[in-house]
Amino acid sequence: MMSASAITEIKLDVQGDFPILQHPIRDQRLVYLDNGATTQKPECVIQAEREFYERENANIHRGVHWLSQHATDLYDRSRECTRAFLHAARTEEIVFTSGTTDSINLVAATWGRANIKAGDEILLTMLEHHSNIVPWQLLADEKGAVIKVVPMLEDGTLDQAEYKRLLSPRTKFVGLVHVSNALGTVNPVKEMIAEAHAVGAVVLLDGAQAVAHQVVDVQDLDCDFYAFSGHKIYGPTGVGVLYGKYALLDAMPPWKGGGDMIHTVSFSGSTFAPAPQRFEAGTPNIAGVVVLAEALKYVQKLGFDAITEHEQALLAYATEQLQALTGIKIVGTAPHKAGVVSFLVDGIHPHDLGTILDMDGVAIRAGHHCAMPLMTELGIPGTARASFGVYNTFADVDALVASLKKAQKLFGVGDE
């Protein structure tokens, strides 16, 4: 994170691209600081979905009419766009899912069931979202495997020495969040992947909070699986991506059965399509997949250098402003953070705080952020969380701070 003294300006001026920001909430200007939960959509994404349903809608694959063939072409182009975005080696390594949670469950149900055995160890971290915990718990219960957890240090970084100690030849799988949704910690995933591979483990990265904020090169990272959701990168809800090394995907059994994932079907047995079609049973979210490409192109057009500089300036400014307030504690102070600031306000429950800020049009997230083990470790029920996107401004931070002061005055806490 840049120092507060380095704060000079923000690099992006794109609020006009997002129609929802032009509409007031409770007669107030919308200050949207809940990007970690979902991002708003630019006009180009909204228009792309409208155009698909108005002019291009048809079911894909096998249709001989023009609309079906055209929709199939659009779907396939989105797969290639996603491959390029992640810097994957081949399009067959891109599986479309309904989101990060669906992607992780797919890996647990296919690769996990085929490869995890009794006594094997699954290594997770204290920073994981529930979606990268619960599927592995279900698998461990089914297979008799053991889950071990990498602890974190006081500032919200993972204990790397303990991570190395926990890795062993018994470690078959490592589930690792790229960027913590609850604290904003950016994990040193490339190094951690290499250390896991050294003991023969397979690594999945939860990239839901990373892809909108930094370049992701899966070949450079050398991760085995990477999962993310479209709605966290200015795209539609209900669509996600699973990247997997092709050798792994090719060896994995199917998860869901039905149309489009088969080669042949008879009552005596069925044969299955190669990856990625093997994992895309039934009619997919065609419009969502097609529109996802528009979201990825939008982010790439802005450029990740500009996005990173913009969001780091916001993070530094927000951190400085919050630290200047009495009775506010920032939770998670790792030296390498994405645009997330979680905090507590003395004397005000996070849920009450979120409700009060909403009256001023300020949208934050309050609660455990689907990271209950982390909150338990911290000894708190949850936090208030402001998370930044490309359309946020210093004025948004100022609005957050002003509303926080009003909340403190209402509860009789903080500065008089």
Which sequence positions are flagged as catalytic? 370
Cis peptide before 274 (omega within 30 of 0): no
Q: How far is CA 136 from CA 124, 148, 280, 360, in A?
A: 9, 11, 22, 41
Q: How far is CA 80 from CA 73, 76, 401, in A?
A: 11, 6, 43
Distance, CA of 404 to CA of 325 (rounded, Å):
9
Q: How far is CA 83 from CA 3, 161, 177, 219, 233, in A?
A: 35, 34, 20, 11, 15
What are the phi and psi torsion angles at 292 (to 5°)? -55, -40
Residue 177 in contact with residue 205, Cβ under 8 Å? yes
DSSP 8-class letter at 53 = I
What are the phi and psi torsion angles at 241 (to 5°)? -135, 140
End-to-end CA distance of the chain: 31
Length of the chain in terms of residues written: 416
Distance, CA of 334 to CA of 126 (rounded, Å):
14
Task: Fill in the amino acid letter for 377.
Answer: E
Residue 222 in contact with residue 114, Cβ under 8 Å? no
Which structure tokens are listed for 41?
A: 């959509």
Per the listing, tokens 């990856």 go with 275
Q: How far is CA 103 from CA 377, 378, 414, in A?
A: 27, 28, 44
Which structure tokens are listed for 79?
A: 């797969």
What are the phi and psi torsion angles at 362 (to 5°)? -100, 115
Query: Would you call 252 helix, strand, or coil by DSSP?
Result: coil
**Residue 361: count of CB within 10 angstroms of its CB:** 17
For the chain, the C-alpha Rg in angstroms (whole number) is 22
What are the phi and psi torsion angles at 236 (to 5°)? -75, 160
Distance, CA of 240 to CA of 103 (rounded, Å):
7
